[in-house]
């Protein structure tokens, strides 16, 4: 490697860092003011690219000049900014005061809706944008050719940074953004119109995301996978730089892209791991990032109120659950092969969701990366069966919960030292580290293709027999987890959830109890992953993806976080609805996204929570006439 190659590599890293900063700056500004972890930011980036490949070529038909090209780019970003305002007015304005977990899920619902809208309007084929006029040729540097447009991008980032700092320090809007980033409640108490401030902030954030997407069209084709591919990088930049810090985002983008530019030369197979490992280290050492500040305590919770009453089943409830269990066990007898497959998946995902609710509902520990333990269990089982050992299914199913528990023990040791949104971000970081390892360690994990040939032992090869294997292991594990809710350990977790300071004051080791809860939940999720791998017959990185973690969150939200058995009902409803819509239409993501938003807005307590609330209201209504009669 000579000097010229290293210089070109450094310049490529600077260009990528500059482009990434433009996108991440919008995300960090939105979070700083609204405290919303906006998953839809990646969708605005994608929409910016699609708007640009539509508007820019139309303008260039009049005159292929750089001026019209950049007018088209700015017009595309402005349209996306307006779409951000629409999302703020229609959706976000209704959920600013709800727990942050609901906000994240609602914005993920927007991601799903936008994916199908883009698919409907522009189609599934990648669309290549025009080259930037006047920048089609390269620049010679030390004998090497470097694209002129890449050189232009190097200057875009500092220009946007300077413009944002000018806005922040020289305009009233910018001063209010900085004030809200430091203490949003105080800004409201001083009489500032928060609705207008939030709307303006969402416009600015969406505009920057759209600008970042529009600037990509001479480099990359617009495609439907752009949203999720960029949002993880934008989150990493935001967290490392400091949530709410624009200069911090600039420095973080430089560090990450230079690490990628040169890391690929030194460690070509672990570049993704290095990025998320850096994010995890920063969160552990300095949770508020390189240039961020500790979060000001607010009255809004990260999580909704957890499980309220740990009461046993009534006689009617016992009969209902027994009947449902019998109906489930009859599926292989009365149902076809497809129903048996769906039944297996419901039991497996129910176990994973139930284990997650041990953390969220009972422990008050939000996790955005529970799929990590599910995936670790799946990979442990799959690699044992297909690897040199050629282990039987029985041994693999023993190894799956052990592997999931060990991963949870390792990650949980660091996670329980944080709280709030920073804890949630660290769970996401560890999940992405696990995903990156499985994705890039091709020799062992098979990379993106995964590993095939993960089949049950001969005696359980029949789908019907394996159904009952899953039923025994999954239902027994769910019963054991439910019992744990009613033990002193479960009550201690609830005490720490309700008030960690009070629990600590009376001698409870809060961190140790939460760490043990992580281990138990990780082991249960690992078993679920192992069972799922034999049902599917293969393993791949999608088992550890953000989408899988969101699915688990949606299952417990659909059933009801405030109830013990809600995750079981939520899993059955969510998975059944998903399986019902997917075969009927190519645009099932749209309906799923609308359903997620509807649950957040209309049924925040879930199906079981809504039923219990209705029963309580009916009980009070029936008791009122009796009280009135006695008073008379």
The Cα 71–Cα 59 span in angstroms is 9
pLDDT score for 627: 47
Do 372 and 485 belong together in one domain? yes
If asked whether residues 191 and 50 sit together in one domain, one would say yes
Q: Are 176 and 192 in contact (CB under 8 A)?
A: yes
User: Is 367:491 a contact under the CB 8 Å cutoff?
Assistant: no
Q: What is the pLDDT, as a whole number, of residue 630?
A: 53
Number of neighbouring beta carbons within 10 Å of residue 236:
25
Residue 258 forms part of a structural domain: no
% of the chain with per-residue pLDDT over 90 = 38
Last residue of a domain, one of 173, 194, 223: 223
Least confident of 337-346, 361-370, 456-465, 578-587: 578-587
Query: Do 389 and 526 belong together in one domain?
Result: yes
Domain end position, chosen among 205, 223, 241 = 223
Domain that holds residue 129: 18-223
Q: H/E/C letters for each residue in 103-150?
A: HHHHHHHHHHHHHHHHHHHHCCCCECCCCCCCCCCEEEECCEEEEHHH
- Can you tell me the mean pLDDT for 614-624? 63
At residue 616 the predicted structure's pLDDT band, cuts being 50, 70 and 90, is low
Q: Looking at 199, 223, 247, which one is the last position of a domain?
A: 223
Shared-domain flag, residues 218 and 334 = no
In-domain check, residue 382: yes
Which residue do the tokens 């690699």 mark? Answer: 383
Above 60 in pLDDT, residue 450?
A: yes
Does 337 reside within a domain? yes
What is the pLDDT averaged over residues 505-512?
90
Residue 42's nearest CA partner among 31, 25, 27 is 27
> Do the domain assignments include residue 624?
no
Looking at the structure, do residues 403 and 515 belong to the same domain, yes or no? yes
- The token pair at 551 is 């699915």
Say how many domains are in the chain: 2
**Is residue 65 predicted with pLDDT exceeding 70?**
yes
554: left (phi over 0), alpha (psi -120 to 50) or beta: alpha
* pLDDT of 375 strictly over 90: yes
295 within domain boundaries? no
In this prediction, residues 159-172 reach a mean pLDDT of 91
- Give the CATH number for residue 445: 1.10.3470
Model confidence at 87: pLDDT above 80 = yes
The total number of residues written for the chain in this structure: 632
Shared-domain flag, residues 26 and 172: yes
pLDDT at 235 over 50: yes
Listed residue (60, 227, 81) closest to 134, CA to CA: 60
Same domain (yes/no): 184, 331 = no
216 and 324 share one domain: no
If asked whether residues 76 and 177 sit together in one domain, one would say yes
**Residues 464 and 362 both lie in one domain:** yes
Q: Could you tell me the end-to-end alpha-carbon distance of the chain, in angstroms, rounded to an integer? A: 96
Helices and strands (H, E) in the chain, number of each type: 26, 4
Cα–Cα distance between 230 and 53 in angstroms, integer?
Answer: 18
Which DSSP category does 308 fall into? -
Is residue 511 domain-resident? yes
Across 560-573, average pLDDT: 82
| Integer Cα distance of 286 and 275 in angstroms | 16
Q: Which of 563, 523, 548 lies closest to 407 in space, CA to CA? A: 523
**Of 349, 409, 403, nearest in space to 377 by CA:** 403
Instruction: Give the least confident one: 34-38, 117-121, 397-401.
Output: 34-38
pTM of the model: 0.87
Considering the domain architecture, whether residues 211 and 342 belong to the same structural domain is answered as no
Q: What is the pLDDT of residues 532-550, one digit of tens each?
A: 999 999 999 999 988 899 8
Question: Is position 519 within any domain?
Answer: yes
Residue 566 located in a structural domain: yes
Instruction: Give the tens place of pLDDT for each residue, 593-604.
Output: 898 898 888 877
Residues 188 and 328 in one domain: no
3-state DSSP assignment of residue 588: helix
């Amino acid at each position: 490697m000579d000097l010229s190659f290293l210089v070109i590599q450094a310049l490529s890293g600077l260009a990528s860092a500059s482009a990434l900063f433009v996108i991440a700056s919008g995300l960090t500004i939105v979070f700083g003011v609204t405290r919303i972890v906006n998953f839809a930011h990646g969708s605005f980036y994608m929409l910016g690219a699609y708007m640009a490949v539509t508007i820019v070529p139309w303008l260039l038909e009049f005159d292929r000049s750089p001026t019209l090209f950049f007018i088209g780019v700015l017009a595309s970003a402005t349209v996306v900014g307006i779409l951000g305002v629409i999302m703020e007015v229609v959706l976000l304005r209704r959920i600013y005061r709800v727990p942050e977990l609901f906000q994240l899920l609602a914005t993920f619902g927007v991601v799903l809706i936008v994916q199908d809208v883009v698919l409907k309007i522009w189609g599934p084929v990648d669309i290549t944008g025009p080259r930037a006029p006047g920048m089609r040729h390269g620049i010679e540097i030390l004998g090497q050719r470097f694209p002129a447009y890449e050189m232009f991008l190097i200057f875009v980032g500092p220009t946007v940074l300077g413009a944002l700092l000018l806005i922040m320090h020289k305009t009233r809007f910018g001063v209010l953004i900085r004030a809200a980033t430091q203490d949003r409640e105080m800004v409201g108490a001083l009489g500032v119109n928060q609705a207008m401030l939030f709307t303006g902030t969402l416009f600015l954030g969406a505009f920057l995301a759209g600008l970042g997407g529009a600037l990509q069209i001479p480099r990359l084709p617009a495609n439907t996978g752009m949203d999720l591919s960029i949002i993880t990088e934008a989150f990493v930049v935001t967290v490392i730089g400091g949530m709410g810090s624009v200069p911090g985002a600039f420095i973080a983008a430089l560090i990450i892209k230079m690490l990628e530019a040169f890391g690929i030369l030194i460690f070509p197979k672990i570049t993704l791991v290095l990025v998320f490992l850096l994010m995890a280290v920063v969160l552990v050492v300095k949770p508020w990032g390189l240039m961020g500040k500790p979060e000001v305590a607010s009255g809004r919770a990260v999580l909704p109120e957890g499980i309220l009453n740990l009461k046993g089943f009534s006689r009617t409830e016992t009969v209902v659950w027994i009947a449902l269990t019998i109906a489930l066990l009859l599926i292989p007898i009365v149902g076809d092969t497809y129903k048996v497959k769906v039944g297996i998946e419901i039991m497996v995902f129910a176990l994973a969701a139930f284990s997650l609710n041990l953390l969220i509902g009972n422990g008050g520990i939000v996790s955005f990366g529970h799929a990590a333990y599910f995936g670790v269990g799946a990979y442990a089982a799959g690699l044992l069966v297909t690897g040199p050992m050629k282990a039987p299914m029985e041994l693999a199913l023993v190894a799956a919960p052990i592997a999931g528990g060990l991963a949870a023990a390792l990650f949980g040791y660091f996670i329980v030292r944080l709280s709030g949104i920073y804890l949630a971000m660290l769970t996401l970081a560890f999940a992405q580290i696990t995903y990156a390892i499985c994705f890039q360690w091709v020799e062992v994990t098979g990379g993106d293709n995964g590993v095939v040939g993960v089949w049950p032992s001969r005696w359980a090869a029949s789908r019907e027999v394996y159904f009952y294997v899953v039923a025994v292991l999954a239902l027994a594990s769910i019963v054991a987890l439910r019992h744990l809710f009613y033990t002193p350990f479960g009550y201690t977790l609830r005490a720490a959830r309700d008030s960690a300071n009070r629990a600590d004051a009376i001698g409870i080791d809060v961190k140790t109890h939460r760490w043990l809860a992580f281990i138990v939940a990780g082991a249960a999720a690992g078993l679920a992953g192992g069972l799922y791998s034999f049902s599917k017959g293969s393993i791949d990185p999608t088992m550890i993806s953000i989408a899988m973690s969101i699915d688990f969150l949606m299952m417990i939200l659909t059933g009801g976080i405030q109830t013990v058995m809600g995750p079981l009902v939520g899993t059955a409803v969510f998975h059944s609805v998903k399986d019902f819509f997917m075969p009927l239409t190519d645009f099932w993501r749209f309906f799923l996204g609308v359903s997620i938003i509807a649950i957040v807005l209309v049924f925040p307590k879930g199906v079981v929570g809504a039923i219990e609330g209705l029963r309580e209201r009916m009980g009070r209504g029936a008791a009122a006439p009796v009280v009135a009669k006695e008073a008379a």
